[in-house]
Chain A
Amino acid sequence: QVQLQESGPGLVKPSETLSLTCAVSGYSISSGYYWGWIRQPPGKGLEWIGSIYHSGSTYYNPSLKSRVTISVDTSKNQFSLKLSSVTAADTAVYYCARLVLWTTYYFDYWGQGTLVTVSS
């Protein structure tokens, strides 16, 4: 059974960089699939942040691209998100998920999510 678990600080100060890691178990990232980050502000809908392949190939949401970096560490079977220059608008539950694509496109496994609050 594939499982994903987000981890990282729950509180980040404005203008600083948000850093989260997603640990994957039950599947080797090196075996394939894309892996993604999605966020959900309190009481609002889902927003795709970006996705990465095990080779390091990335796709980012253009609205966040200038501030986002997603990286992968196959030796630790995990991938990470960095979002710079955060503001209160970046307060959200951040989810990591496995993305299935190539003649299809959907997220099949999700982490439980982690709330990140941006506040001084």
Chain B
Amino acid sequence: QSALTQPRSVSGSPGQSVTISCTGTSSDVGGYNYVSWYQQHPGKAPKLMIYDVSKRPSGVPDRFSGSKSGNTASLTISGLQAEDEADYYCCSYAGSYTFDGVVFGGGTKLTVL
């Protein structure tokens, strides 16, 4: 099972919006509404930001939103803040004849200019 495809980096100014894409296949992103997104600051553990494509855990600002179209999921961060600068990873359940588990994206570095 191949890793999901994310852009290596994105950037935006404070107050702007950015969108991070995550492309998979019909065996993972396209086949299930089990996409989650994680934020990781340097030297820290990943933090759950979005699950089930578009649901936000308690405590995550509503500036973070998720969506999916076909085999591509997206994370949008609106009203960028300096603290949003971090790496972001998408994740999906993947099920096929040869694989039953989890696949991550390669990660996207968000820079707040």
Contacts and interface: CB of A to CB of B under 8 A. Distances in A.
How many B residues touch the partner, as a band? 20 to 34
Given A46-B107, A62-B1, A107 B36 contact: yes
Main secondary structure of the interface of A (DSSP, over half): strand
B51 interface: yes
Interface of A: 36, 38, 44-48, 50-51, 59-62, 95, 99-101, 104-108, 110-113
B106 A105 contact: no
7 contacts: A38-B104, A48-B104, A62-B98, A62-B99, A104-B51, A105-B34, A107-B48
Interface of B: 1, 3, 32, 34, 36, 38, 44-48, 51-52, 57, 89, 91-93, 98-107
Given A59-B100, A62-B1, A106-B48, 15 more contacts: A45-B105, A45-B107, A46-B89, A46-B107, A48-B101, A95-B46, A105-B102, A106-B34, A106-B51, A108-B51, A110-B45, A110-B47, A111-B45, A112-B44, A113-B45
Contacts of A111: 45
Nearest to A4: B45
B48 to A, nearest CB: 5
Given A45-B3, A46-B89, A108 B57 contact: yes
A74 B47 CA distance: 26
A59 B103 CA distance: 13
A75 B88 CA distance: 36
A112 B47 CA distance: 11
A99 B102 CA distance: 10
Residue from A50, A59, A61, A105 with most neighbouring chain B CB atoms (10 Å): A105
A46 B93 CA distance: 14
B45 A104 contact: no
A112 B40 CA distance: 11
Nearest to A96: B45
A74 to B, nearest CB: 23
A48 B92 CA distance: 11
